[in-house]
Amino acid sequence: MTTNKEKHELELAMFAGGCFWCMVTPFEQLPGIGGIVSGYAGGHLENPTYKEVKMGTTGHAEVVQISFDPEVFPYEKLLELFWQQIDPTDSGGQFQDRGSQYRTGIYYYNEKQRELAEASKVALAVSGRFDKPIVTEIEAAGVFYLAEDYHQDYHKKNPEHYKEDRKQSGRDEFIETKWTK
């Protein structure tokens, strides 16, 4: 559908928040989000497979790459929502998913994103919301490798398994405890 509104250039954002399946749904229905894909970033092996990344030896993290319209949904809002999906004090993974491949991270595409990410991390650290240090890494985006097709929109392709996995992970209880009270 065509509208009279001016089309804006989409930008990219990349976040690691543990299992990439759980990092898609919080962002996907928001205005200004052009798309979300699951993949791998931050490692040393070219074209890694899920099996290789899951072993924890490639250095990659499971990530989501989000295309967004900053005029409709600014990067600051993406950062705010990102922080509310993770335990930023856990350096060993996220919830039931353990290992460096499930670490948290913000991977910036430009200097403005880096500055905003750093400022948001500092603001969270001084907020008093967490008793432990914020360990989420902030690094340049680097190479993004698209995850296998069966991981894309996993929550839509396998809704029952996704719901059960998310329920068992403890993520929702953490979010409820840390962000909604």
> Which pLDDT belongs to residue 5?
47
Listed residue (99, 107, 98, 31) closest to 63, CA to CA: 107
> Which pLDDT belongs to residue 179?
87
Encoding tokens for residue 34?
A: 């052009």
- Is the CA virtual torsion 172, 81, 56, 162 positive or negative? positive
> Which pLDDT belongs to residue 168?
92
Q: What is the pLDDT of residues 60-77, one digit of tens each?
A: 999 999 999 999 999 999
Does 3 have pLDDT greater than 70?
Answer: no
Specify the fold of 11-179. Peptide Methionine Sulfoxide Reductase; Chain A (3.30.1060)
Q: What percent of the chain has pLDDT over 70?
A: 96
- Pairing label, strands 137-140, 104-108: parallel
Would residue 22 show up in a list of annotated catalytic residues for this protein? no
Q: What letter does residue 13 receive in the DSSP assignment?
A: E
Q: What is the pLDDT of residues 81-138, one digit of tens each?
A: 999 999 999 999 999 999 999 999 999 999 999 999 999 999 999 999 999 999 999 9
> Which pLDDT belongs to residue 77?
97
For the chain, report the end-to-end CA distance as a whole number of angstroms.
40
Q: What letter does residue 148 receive in the DSSP assignment?
A: P
Catalytic residue among 13, 14, 19, 106: 19
Are the CB atoms for 57 and 98 separated by under 8 Å? no
Which residues are paired to 17 by β-bridges? 104
